[in-house]
């Protein structure tokens, strides 16, 4: 397990009632400025992965990574929201290629507390055309425990040889307002 810290600034914030989908299906609210008449929301996020795992046990790299992510979100209806992410990660591991990440997701809002999420996540690690950039699909749920805590759980399916055929993931997102 590694620990991550992130922050964001929104150039075009979500409309009232919209939320952002940020990394692995986690909702978050982002500090905002005026919408200026646009119907799609945009934000830039920065993140930092701190090596808290044990590399000797095969968990994490033992190095610090940092990245930047551009996020676009559009509400299609009261219950359907579409998200797109494009990011670049600078890896601290020696001789590791930096990574370009991309994601597309659809969120179906079931109630004030529950959402279903489906997403496709890919990474281009610039190693050529060997098909070794991870590509996976994820289907999951989100539960809003309280206004500042979101519980995410999901099942991932590998779409190429670079990722496991199947994985289960869960996590808590704690939101802090500035």
pLDDT tens digits for range 142-171: 999 988 888 999 999 999 888 889 999 898
* Best CA proximity match to 63, nearest among 74, 54, 75: 54
**pTM for this one?**
0.69
Per-residue pLDDT tens digits for 91-117: 877 777 888 999 999 999 999 899 999
Is 80 exceeded by the pLDDT of residue 11? no
The DSSP output letter for 40 is S
Question: How many residues are there in the chain?
Answer: 178
The full set of domains in the chain, from first to last, is 3-174 (2.40.160)
């Amino acid at each position: 397990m590694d620990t991550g810290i992130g922050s964001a600034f929104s150039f075009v914030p979500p409309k009232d009632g919209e939320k952002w989908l940020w990394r692995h299906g986690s909702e978050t609210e982002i500090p905002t400025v005026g919408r200026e008449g646009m119907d799609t929301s945009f934000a830039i996020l920065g993140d930092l992965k701190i090596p808290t795992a044990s590399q000797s046990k095969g968990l994490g790299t033992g190095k610090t990574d940092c990245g930047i992510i551009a996020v676009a979100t559009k509400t299609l209806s009261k219950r359907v929201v579409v998200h797109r992410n494009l990011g670049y990660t600078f890896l601290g591991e020696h001789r590791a290629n930096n990574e370009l990440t991309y994601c597309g997701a659809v969120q179906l809002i079931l109630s004030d507390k529950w959402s279903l999420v489906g997403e496709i996540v890919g990474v281009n690690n610039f190693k050529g055309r060997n098909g070794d950039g991870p590509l996976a699909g994820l289907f999951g749920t989100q539960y809003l425990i309280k206004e500042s805590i979101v519980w995410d759980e999901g099942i991932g399916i590998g779409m190429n040889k670079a990722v496991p055929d199947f994985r289960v993931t869960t996590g808590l997102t704690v939101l802090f307002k500035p």
